[in-house]
Amino acid sequence: MTALRRPQSVAGKVLSFSILLILAVGFWWTAAAAEVLAEKDRAKIEAQLQDLTGEVNMVMFTQELECQYCTQTRGLLEELASMSDRLTLSVYDLVADAAEAKKYGIDKIPATVLMADQDVGIRYFGVPAGYELNALVETIQDLSRNQTDLETEALADLENLSDDIHIQVFVTPTCPYCPGAVRTAYRLAQEHDRIRAEGVEVVEFPYLATRYQVRGVPMVVINEQVSFVGARSSSYFVEKILEAAGMEKMEEREEGR
Q: What are phi and psi of 104, to 5 degrees?
A: -95, 0
Q: What is the pLDDT of residue 38?
A: 76
Give the residue, 51 or 21, on which the prediction is more confident. 51
H/E segment holding residue 166: strand 165-171
Q: What are phi and psi of 62, to 5 degrees?
A: -145, 180
**Angle 70-81/39-49 helices, nearest 10 degrees?**
50
Pairing of strands 87-93, 56-62: parallel
| Count, residues in the chain | 257
> What tens digit of pLDDT does each residue of 137-195 get?
999 999 999 999 998 888 999 999 999 999 999 999 999 999 999 999 999 999 999 99
Q: What are phi and psi of 102, to 5 degrees?
A: -65, -40
Facing residues of 125 across strands?
111, 200
Quote the distance between the C-alpha of residue 44 and its chain's center.
Answer: 22
Tell me the three state secondary structure of residue 59. Answer: strand
At residue 14, does pLDDT exceed 70?
A: no
Q: What is the pLDDT of residue 149?
A: 93
> What tens digit of pLDDT does each residue of 87-98 get?
999 999 999 999
Alpha carbon distance 98, 186 (integer Å): 25
Facing residues of 60 across strands?
91, 112
pLDDT confidence tier of residue 66, bands split at 50, 70 and 90: confident
32-249 has CATH 3.40.30.80 classification:
yes
> What tens digit of pLDDT does each residue of 101-140 get?
999 999 999 999 999 999 999 999 999 999 999 999 999 9
Q: How many CB atoms lie under 10 A from the CB of residue 236?
A: 15
Q: Cβ neighbours of residue 181 under 8 Å, at least 6 residues apart?
A: 169, 171, 218, 220, 230, 231, 232
> What tens digit of pLDDT does each residue of 191-206 get?
999 999 999 999 999 9
Give the residue, 183 or 24, on which the prediction is more confident. 183
pTM: 0.85
At residue 33, does pLDDT exceed 50?
A: no
- Determine contact, residues 197/189, Cβ cutoff 8 Å: yes
